[in-house]
Amino acid sequence: MNEEYGESSTNDEEEDEEHTNPNENIFNGNQEYLICDAAVQDKLDYETISKKYEIKPENLKIIQAIGEGYYSDVHMGMLSSPTAEIPVAVKTTKTKTGAMNAEESEDIRKRQRQALREELGIFEHLQSSSVGGHENVLKLLGAMTTIRTEFCLLTEYCECGSMDRFLQAKWKNGHFVDELVIEANGNEQVWKV
Ligand SMILES: Nc1ncnc2c1ncn2[C@@H]1O[C@H](COP(=O)(O)OP(=O)(O)OP(=O)(O)O)[C@@H](O)[C@H]1O
């Protein structure tokens, strides 16, 4: 998405509400847009990181929560493209900040957005042709960086979840060794589970 947003009202109470239903909190049409006279630091909070990856909110449908990290909640969603619906993992700031008050809550969310912004930068770099990209590197499929309440990054959805848990489960079941095979891939040999 690469739109110029006009001024809109900012409701601090709304922003600091702790929601119990994750799907209610994100992408619920409750958007906050760029305030033109915001401090420079605040403006940075809304700047488009990458025009190439920016998507429109209406093209993303959140389906269900699938995990959480230290800085983020992760949902499975469907991204609409002109030709297809693509399953994606959607990483957002956390629904519950655990903050004691509104100010603290916004501070925490700012740090979470910063962490996601940095992650997005790394992802973008890894996709680039100069680095080469790789079939085993998670693909970045989109991002929303200009709407504070909908800040998120979208990657391809991995049906088996996180690799560490997947491998640990295999190890515990004793399946790990049996399922490892080497496949010839041109001149290279690649491990396949
Ligand atoms: N692309 C994906 N496909 C499927 N599940 C995912 C995907 N990305 C994340 N998850 C799920 O969400 C969980 C947390 O995501 P992730 O591992 O990215 O967080 P983290 O790196 O630990 O968090 P943070 O960056 O906030 O510290 C994972 O353990 C996994 O279950």
> How far away, in angstroms, is 120 Cα from ligand 1 center?
13
DSSP labels for 92-112?
A: EE-S----SSHHHHHHHHHHH
User: What is the distance in A from the centroid of ligand 1 to the CA of 71?
Assistant: 10
* Phi, then psi, of 57 in degrees rounded to 5: -55, -35
CATH of 12-159, one of 3.40.718.10, 3.60.130.10, 3.30.200.20, 3.30.465.10: 3.30.200.20
Q: Any idea where the domains of the chain sit in the sequence?
A: 12-159, 160-193
| pTM: predicted TM-score of the whole model, two decimal places | 0.70
At 132 the pLDDT is: 60
- Give the pLDDT confidence score for residue 142 in this predicted structure: 93
ipTM surpasses 0.90:
yes
pLDDT tens, position by position, 109-125: 999 999 999 999 889 88
To the question of whether residue 94 is assigned a binding role by annotation, the answer is no
